[in-house]
Structure 1
């Protein structure tokens, strides 16, 4: 198969879809890999390293899309890329369709095959291609939140871990999945007073067992959230409904109950955000303030640490990339239920129901195309 790695062109997105090591594995399996010039520079991988791995370097993004049968990316295509995607071309990347109607309609119109990292799902319902970036984003949420709690950046002026004789900051984490667990670990490690909420009692029991003593587990419901936000200094939104829009757990009206200088970090922004006042921001302009509350809503947080993120992402995606390249998307998805669940759009048809439901668009079961 001919595999293309275009350079990411989303604002401040420095990751690349595969490391030179990943390219080596594809070439060893008999595939041809074309990499756009400087695609790996932001992650610390040079064109020479990709050449040594067996890739051919092409100067423009247009040439990569034109020649490739499978495009492997990190982030969803942006508007300037829509016209480059060809009918029957396989695009394997994070799409997060349910929060972006223009992208959904563009991919339907392209007649391409769109396989989304975020909906590839194992039998135990875990999301193997979301896990590595969720780990990075969860840890970064605390790193960034601690930073924006500083007074010069608009925060209340609180040191996350406090000092002797001074209480630490109160951190509220909404969601006990991978993002929430990593955020709670990081905040606890820095000495904060942490509360993590989830709707699953078995999950809360598990978290209570594994997390440090300075992390409290609380059942997530409207009343408990409304009470907790009043005294929290840093709130992390870490809610995920696979492939669907995140529910709003914090509304605009609730901001008035927060202390001035409270910091909100909404990691769920890729799926529409679990905080009503959230809107996607970039690393260039990461925050905005509403009612004295600082909002950090960067939609590609792991892009700020691209070396770590690219290595972690390739570790997770490469086995799936190899299956798709070795067998073709149709056979691979027929044989592999995990990959089959990643199919969102096939040749002009939405085959992932939560995406169709998000925009009241026509849905066609994936089985019709396998």
Structure 2
């Protein structure tokens, strides 16, 4: 199989879908690898490093898309890239289709087969290809929120850890999963007064044990959120429903309960965001103000630490990428039901229920598509 890796073109996206080590592994398995020139520069991998691994270097993305059987990326294909996809081509990347009808329609029209990192599962019920970036985004969230809290950036001017005689920032993290736990680890380390809300009592118990009383846990419901809002300096939205649009946890009307200059950090923005007033931003222009509340909603937060993120993502995706290349997507998905859960689009059919529900599109069972294929 010929595996292609184009340069990411989403604004300020410096990650790359294929590391040199992953390229070397694929070549050792008998596959050809084609990488667009400059694709790895942002993560610290120059063209010569890929050449040393045995990969060929393409001058343009058009060359990669035109000749590759499988396209490996990081972010969802942008409009110009979607036009280059073709029937029978395999796309392996993050998609986040539920809040993105335009991308969904373009992928359906292309006839390609698209497997989304974020809906591949594992035996423990986790999302192994989303987890490493969730870890990164979670750890970045308090750091980014602390920057937004600075007065020069529109925030209230509260220091996360306070100083002797002055209280630290109050931080609420809604969602105690991978993102929430990572965010809590950093926020607690910065000296903030942290509350984690979740609807899983066992998860709250786990976090209480792990943090040994250094944070507060609270069951999440509307009343609990409304009670916390007036006291919070920062709220981190960390709720995920696999493949589906994120639930709206704080409404626009509830912004009036917050203190002026409070900060909302929406880590769920890829899935539409968990605050009603959220809209995707970029690293170049990361924040905006709604009714005196600062919103940080960067849609590719891990891109800010591209080298760490690329290596972490490559470690997670490489076994799946090799399985798809070695066996073809049909056999690989037949052998691994967790990989089949990643199938979102095939030959003009939508195959992921949560996306269909969010967008009002008919869905074909991935098992049925696999049997037909």
| Structure 2 length-normalised TM | 0.98
Matches within 5 A, 1:45-60: 45-60=45-60
3-state SS in 2 of match to 1:329: helix
Alignment of 1:7 onto 2:1: no
> For residue 146 of structure 1, what is the aligned residue in structure 2?
146
3-state SS in 1 of match to 2:230: coil
How far apart in 2 are the matches of 1:236 and 1:277? 14
Q: Does the CA contact (< 8 Å) of 1:188 and 1:212 recur in 2?
A: no
- Unaligned segments of structure 1, at least 5 residues: none
Q: Does the CA contact (< 8 Å) of 1:150 and 1:158 recur in 2?
A: yes
Q: Does the CA contact (< 8 Å) of 1:192 and 1:214 recur in 2?
A: no
Q: Does the CA contact (< 8 Å) of 1:8 and 1:39 recur in 2?
A: yes
3-state SS in 2 of match to 1:8: coil
Equivalenced residue count is: 370
What's the CA shift for 1:18?
Answer: 1.5
Q: Deviations over 1:314-360 (max 9, x none)?
A: 01000100100110000000000110000000110011111111111
Q: Does the CA contact (< 8 Å) of 1:95 and 1:118 recur in 2?
A: yes
> For residue 86 of structure 1, what is the aligned residue in structure 2?
86
Matches within 5 A, 1:317-328: 317-328=317-328
> For residue 349 of structure 2, what is the aligned residue in structure 1?
349
> For residue 22 of structure 1, what is the aligned residue in structure 2?
22
How far apart in 1 are the matches of 2:360 and 2:153? 41
Q: Deviations over 1:40-72 (max 9, x none)?
A: 001110000000000000000000000000000
What's the CA shift for 1:125?
Answer: 1.2
How far apart in 1 are the matches of 2:23 and 2:320? 13
> For residue 231 of structure 2, what is the aligned residue in structure 1?
231
Q: Does the CA contact (< 8 Å) of 1:5 and 1:36 recur in 2?
A: yes
Compute the RMSD of aligned alpha carbons.
0.6
> For residue 306 of structure 2, what is the aligned residue in structure 1?
306
Runs of 4+ with >6 A deviation: none
Q: Deviations over 1:259-285 (max 9, x none)?
A: 001010000000010000000001111
> For residue 187 of structure 1, what is the aligned residue in structure 2?
187
| Structure 1 length-normalised TM | 0.99
Alignment of 1:333 onto 2:326: no
3-state SS in 2 of match to 1:103: helix
- Unaligned segments of structure 2, at least 5 residues: none
What's the CA shift for 1:19?
Answer: 1.1
What's the CA shift for 1:105?
Answer: 0.5
Q: Deviations over 1:109-150 (max 9, x none)?
A: 011000000000012210000110000000000110111111
